Amino acid sequence: MEEINLRPVAYVLSPVEEPSDMPLGGKDAIIELLPEYVEALQGLEKNSHIWILSWFHKAPRDLLKISPLKVNPDSPEYGVFALRAFARPNPIGLSLVRLERVEGNRIYVRGLDAIGGTPVLDIKPYFENDTIFSPLTPYIRGKSREMRQGMIRKHAFIHHGEECTDMLIGVRMAAIAEDRFGHLNSSDLMVHVQGSLCLADTIQGVSRARLANPPRFTYTNNDEVSETTWTKNNQTLIIRLKGTFNHDDIENLADEELFDIF
Ligand SMILES: [Zn+2]
């Protein structure tokens, strides 16, 4: 059988050592280039996001169907080509990460799902043409609220680009809506936002609700209120922020402490 030789161009430096310890949203990490490839980084810093193709060296290569264990062990099986799981015949990792900075032979990134020591095969810029705003994807429900919220937070950060207070409020609201309605990118889930531009942008990013075709998203700018209204199959969920909270409150308080929900 034909063989293809690949040589790593870099290695991942990450505090995470085992695939099972990798959080779903990935981790901040450093990609350390081998000295002979440093010239190939020229101009990379002009990108906010890059694709990392890596070799998941600890992944099993003999599995063709698995259930997405990390997301939800109770989910039905999928073929490995229908998942992003580590296990696959050629365990090539494809990760979209935010590029923080380039220093010498080191690339600092956010949200990389490759463990420390992972060989990196290639680095490519993310282009506008890579963007599909509301793709059709299967819904694999995360097994816990913490996990579902973590996934929403990753989407929110990639979309909104800063972890401001209103982004975190939007993530909490979206997690409550997902608990009630399931897949937030569902063509019959309508979303109305009242509040800041950051809240609206976050909710639009995590729900993929567009203004038209199909029209799912409406917005009223309001400095006094932070509120989202979610409607599906004649059921309505309204989530309204109770008052003013700081970053830590929004991370730590319970839903009922932060929001009026009805
Ligand atoms: Zn913001």
Express each pLDDT in 171-210 by its tens digit.
999 999 999 999 999 999 999 999 999 999 999 999 999 9
Number of domains in the chain: 2
Distance of CA 185 from the midpoint of ligand 1 (Å): 21
Distance of CA 231 from the midpoint of ligand 1 (Å): 25
- Of 130, 164, 196, the last residue of a domain is 130
175 shares a domain with 102? no
240 shares a domain with 162? yes
126 shares a domain with 50? yes
Question: Residue 7: CB partners within 8 Å, gap ≥ 6?
Answer: none
243 shares a domain with 164? yes
- Rounded distance, CA 47 to CA 235, Å? 42
CATH code, domain carrying 72:
2.40.30.70
165 shares a domain with 114? no
Burial 106-122 (b: 16+ CB within 10 A, else e): bbbbbbbbbbeebbbbe
C-beta of residue 48 within 8 angstroms of C-beta of residue 108:
no
Q: Residues 90-145: pLDDT tens digits? A: 999 999 999 999 999 999 999 899 999 999 999 999 998 888 888 888 888 998 99
84 shares a domain with 25? yes
Query: Is residue 2 in some structural domain?
Result: no
Q: What is the pTM of this model?
A: 0.83
Q: Residues 144-176: pLDDT tens digits? A: 999 899 889 988 988 998 999 999 999 999 999
Distance of CA 98 from the midpoint of ligand 1 (Å): 16
Mean pLDDT of 77-102: 93
Query: Is residue 140 in some structural domain?
Result: no
Distance of CA 56 from the midpoint of ligand 1 (Å): 34
Question: Residue 132: CB partners within 8 Å, gap ≥ 6?
Answer: none
Distance of CA 11 from the midpoint of ligand 1 (Å): 33
Burial 130-168 (b: 16+ CB within 10 A, else e): eeeeeeeeeebebbeeebbbbbbbbbbbbbbeeebbbbb
Q: Does 69 have pLDDT greater than 80?
A: no
Query: Is residue 51 in some structural domain?
Result: yes
CA atoms within 13 A on the CB side of 66: 21
User: Residue 60's domain spans which residues?
Assistant: 10-130
125 shares a domain with 149? no
Query: Is residue 174 in some structural domain?
Result: yes
- Of 130, 164, 193, the last residue of a domain is 130
Q: Nearest CA to 119 among 98, 92, 101, 85? A: 92
CATH code, domain carrying 155:
3.30.1330.130
Query: Is residue 4 in some structural domain?
Result: no
| Residue 228 banded pLDDT, cuts 50, 70, 90 | very high
78 shares a domain with 41? yes
Distance of CA 208 from the midpoint of ligand 1 (Å): 17
Distance of CA 205 from the midpoint of ligand 1 (Å): 12
170 shares a domain with 102? no
- Of 130, 162, 180, the last residue of a domain is 130
Distance of CA 37 from the midpoint of ligand 1 (Å): 36
Query: Is residue 135 in some structural domain?
Result: no
- Rounded distance, CA 89 to CA 255, Å? 42
